[in-house]
Amino acid sequence: MIKEIYKKHKEIILYAIFGGLTTLVNFVVTFIIQKGFGLAGEGVEFIITNSIAWVCAVAFAYVTSHIYVFESKAHGAKAITIEAGKFVGSRIFTGIIEMTLPSGLVAIGLDGALFSFEGFWAKAITGIVVIILNYVLSKLFVFRKKKEDATTSEVESENQ
């Protein structure tokens, strides 16, 4: 039964697992930079640390999405560069949403706190929106399977 559930929802399960690991990469890189290089301050130091951690996390997310989650068929430098460019572009787009949406939600009254976390609900809603958008953009724009790939997959599934 578990095997059937995994097989049926493999892509979403792997997306969730690697999404969690991507978050972990972001936190670990942030920690290493703060402790190893002493960039734990505010302002420019925070921007530098956060930017490096974001780049590492997006690179990790691309590789795992390309290989495991969406099982991309893109091969060769040109195809991978185009695919990776689309991936990074989509993450920049959702990053902008992640930076701006909470303020908009707070402005319309979703500014409730939870456990002294001001704006918790705005941040939580934004997180959900960004996760869904990242998945949809990855599936429909970045790692979109061509019709012939889909037909091949269906034939392979029937033969198993």
Q: Domain boundary at 71, 97, 122, which?
A: 71
pLDDT in tens, 54-94: 999 999 999 999 999 999 999 999 999 999 999 999 999 99
CA 91, CA 74: separation in Å to the nearest integer? 19
Q: Is the pLDDT of residue 38 over 80?
A: yes
Same-domain status, 2 and 65 = yes
Indicate whether 35 and 92 sit together in one domain: no
Which band of pLDDT confidence, cut at 50, 70 and 90, is reported for residue 155?
very low
In a domain, 154, yes or no: no
Residue 153 is assigned to a structural domain of this protein: no
- The answer to whether residue 59 sits within a structural domain is yes
Number of domains in the chain: 2
Round to the nearest angstrom and report the end-to-end CA distance of the chain: 17
* Residue 11 included in any domain: yes
**Largest alpha-carbon pair distance within the chain?**
58
pLDDT of 160 reads 47
Total-model pTM = 0.82
Domain final position from 44, 71, 98: 71
Phi, psi of 8 (to 5 degrees): -70, -35
Domain span holding position 18 = 1-71
pLDDT, average across residues 15-43? 90
- Residue 159 domain-assigned? no
